[in-house]
Structure 1
Amino acid sequence: MKTQVAIIGAGPSGLLLGQLLAKQGIDNIILERVTGDYVLGRIRAGILEQGFADLVREAGVAERMDAEGEVHDGFDIASEGKRVRIDLKGLTGGKTVVCYGQVEITQDLMLAREAAGLQTFYEANDVQPQDVKTDAPSLTFEYQGESYRLECDYIAGCDGFHGVSRQTIPEEVRTEYERVYPFGWLGLLSDTPPAHSELIYCKHERGFALASMRSETRSRYYLQVPLADKVEDWSDDAFWAELKKRLPQDIAENLVTGPSLEKSIAPLRSFVCEPMQYGRLFLVGDAAHIVPPTGAKGLNLAASDVATLYKIMTRVYQQNDPDCISQYSDIALRRVWNGERFSWWMSNMLHNFGQMETGDMDAATFKRFMDSELGYFLGSENGRRVIAEQYVGLPYEELTD
């Protein structure tokens, strides 16, 4: 088999890249380790930066997002019983975010790919990149009991943190940076109306909480919990009771509760792999970087990787400029590190680190610093503008000539 761009991974980043490339007449095939139903079963965040939403529109897959997605002009940060609104639209010259679940985006992209007749191999096993430092890379894999080789010009590794793509880069070539946080997020999904029309980030002495949503009838809530906790430790009643203690009182009093559709605990980490390119292999999304979800940057950083690689592949095939591929890692990493810093900063300000030492300072000093930091940024219009500009997403960087 032959194609121009081989994509490993049929999550939202791989599917979006495939759709954008196909729009430019660039042939691509996707290999995915699990079933399509399993991919759709992954519950993930759903705050889309304006740049990501525009990219979905460019891919021609925005009809349902624009019809059903909730455009948010701002969000609240609650601390010490007070709520401060971050006016995204007013502070950024009109930019907003769209609340639309990752599962919905993935489903839309799957259906569009199927309708266009683009080839995807689900349950492709033992996918292995070959000869990525040459002009003739390929992928070998097993599918339905038979062995295949997919010859290609370039490989996009969109296969997540545990995928094969990053491991293809030799250890002596790659540098990995990581910070593991001493707590996780317990998330609950329910068919209940959201607690508020916009997201509420809550800093509380009992721990961080987030009131989020998927639609006008489906809500998503999160609680900061110790890493030792297990989902089985938390009944629905216990979750709702603890959430009410951390939410602002007026919100808690009107909170509508109900049975959970899904509960899970996600550990928090910051992770970056450099470089994001090795020969003709490009790392995209979680294959190269993980962010704590506090800044709503995980899916959005994957989208910016896609935007950069899409521009590069378009120039390669339409302008016969293969040398431009060398720009990918530097451009992608500049935005990745910015998103990592913002997510780390938000996590530090809003979570309760308790008695744990943080960096080179004791817990009490760190708490004082972070309380002061949050108070300054919420109390200053320029400070709120900094949060707003980062939250809606910085502009995508263009390629150099």
Structure 2
Amino acid sequence: MRCQVGIIGAGPAGLLLGHLLHRAGIDAVVIEARSRSYIEGRIRAGLLEQGSVETLVEAGVGDRLLREGLPHEGLELRHEGGRRRIELTRLTGRRVTIYGQQEVVKDLVAARLAAGLPLHFDAAGVRVEGIDGPRPAIHFTQGGEPRRLDCDIVAGCDGFHGIARDAIPAAALRILERVYPFAWLGILAEARPISHELIYARHHDGFALATMRSETLSRLYLQCAPDEDPANWPDGRIWAALERRLGAVNEGPIIQKGVTGMRSFVAEPMRFGSLFLAGDAAHIVPPTGAKGMNLAIADVRVLAAALDGFFRRGETRLMDEYSRICLARVWKVQRFSWWMTQMLHRYDAEDGFEHHVQAAELDYLFQSEAAQMTLAENYVGLPYEV
């Protein structure tokens, strides 16, 4: 096979990139190691910044998002019995929308297949070669048959555990990482959400978060140990812990349960030769700031514009600037996600000083509109450079 851009990974980054390139008249092939049912069924992030919503709507894949998404104009912080609503829209003029990552993926898959564009599921043994030259290739096996895709550009959109980042020579890549000493036990429950907006709670037992996927599906999280076995958390224990930390819950059948590790991770640069990394292949943020999918969309906006300039006008400036532009946003988002994580979680090794600093941070946030503005403008999404 031959195309202009070979895209590895059919998550939000890879699928949105393929869609934007198609609209620009650029030929792209998407290769995914998993099945369609797997990528459309895995539960991931569920909060979109307003800029992400606008990007999807402008790309023509936002009709269902506008119908079914749940717009939020604020969020609530809770600490030691105190409550403070952060008025996102009043403070910034913008809002966020709850719409599951798997729903974004479904919309993008449907659009790609409806347009008759190549999307290869169940691709085994994916590897790349020649990324240090002008004619890279992607090799994979499908249905037991070896296949080769020759292209001009490779986009590595295959997530943190994908093969794209590992194709870059170690000497050419700098990894910066922080692993946090806790995780989140997350559940999806058939229960009415306890609030129409997100609730972030800092409690002496540990952090808790109440969010939702719909008006009848609650997504709830508890801080736990990073090596926690979900089997040690029967439903009754989970509901009791959530009630202690959040104050009240609406119980219902738990249909999904799992532990999510917490880390900050950045790979620099995000380009090597003809390989460009986007989304989780290049960076991971702790989910406290709700930024993972939004960062992927921001990367793709820059990469799509850069490839459009290259293939249609022969311009290379934006391709050369891709990593710098994306990383400037990545590090701002890393700072915000780290700050939210540090402020709201219990650290078992902390001394009294650190505990009081965290409490003072929240008290200041509760009282200061300037501090609330800082949180709000980061939460709804910083302006795009491209």
Partner of 1:146: 145
- Matches of 1:21 and 1:193, distance apart in 2: 40
- 2:251 is aligned to 257
Alignment of structure 1 residues 120-159 onto 2, 5 Å: 120-159=119-158
The separation in 1 between residues aligned to 2:362 and 2:200, in whole angstroms, is 12
- Partner of 1:172, secondary structure, is helix
1:323, distance to aligned residue in structure 2 (A):
4.1
Please tell me the residue identity of whatever aligns with 1:234.
W
Amino acid at match of 1:78: R
RMSD of Structure 2 on Structure 1 (CA): 1.0
Structure 2 counterpart of 1:360: none
Q: 2:354, 2:43 → 1: CA distance?
A: 33
Question: In structure 1, what is the equivalent of residue 20 of structure 2?
Answer: 20
**Structure 2 CA distance, aligned partners of 1:41 and 1:230?**
22
2:374 counterpart of 1:380: no
* Deviation readout 1:170-192 (Å, 9 max, x if unpaired): 11111101111111100010121
> Which deviations, in whole Å up to 9, do the C-alpha atoms of 1:191-227 show, x marking residues without a partner?
2111101000001011000000011111100000112
1:58-92 residue CA offsets vs partner (Å, 9 max, x unmatched): 22110100000001001001111111011110111
Match of 1:367 among 355, 367, 379: 355
Q: Give the distance between the partners of 1:256 and 1:91, measured in 2 at CA.
A: 30
CA distance in 2, matches of 1:330, 1:163: 22
Separation of aligned partners in 2, 1:156 and 1:265: 29
Query: What is the identity, as a one-letter code, of the residue corresponding to 2:74?
Result: G
CA distance in 2, matches of 1:182, 1:239: 20
The answer to whether the aligner puts 1:330 opposite 2:324 as a matched pair is yes
Match status 1:48 vs 2:36: no
**Residue 302 (structure 2) aligns with:** 308
Secondary structure of the residue aligned to 1:195 is coil
- Once residues 149 and 8 of structure 1 are traced to their aligned partners in structure 2, the CA distance between those partners, rounded to angstroms, is 13
- Contact 1:20-1:58 at 8 Å conserved across structures: no
In the alignment, residue 221 of structure 2 is paired with which amino acid? Answer: Y
Structure 1 residue 135: deviation in Å? 1.4
**2:75 match:** 75
Paired amino acid for 2:218: S
Partner amino acid, structure 1, of 2:23: K
AA aligned to 1:135 is P
1:150 aligned counterpart, secondary structure: strand
Give 1:313 shift: 1.1
The alignment's TM-score, normalised by the length of structure 2, stands at 0.98
Give SS of 2:354's match: helix
Q: d(CA) in 2 for partners of 1:239 and 1:370? A: 25
Q: Please give the secondary structure, in 1, of the residue aligned with 2:172.
A: coil
User: What is the match of residue 111 of structure 1?
Assistant: 110
Separation (CA, whole Å) in 1 of partners of 2:172 and 2:311: 28
Residue aligning to 2:7: 7
TM-superposed CA distance for 1:324, in Å, is 2.9
Amino acid at match of 2:41: G
SS of residue paired to 2:193: coil
Is the Cα–Cα contact under 8 Å of residues 292 and 347 in structure 1 kept in the other structure?
Answer: yes
2: CA distance, partners of 1:227 / 1:324: 40
1:240 and 1:26 map into 2 onto residues whose CA distance is 50
Give matches, 1:194-343, under 5 Å.
Answer: 194-248=193-247, 252=248, 255-343=249-337
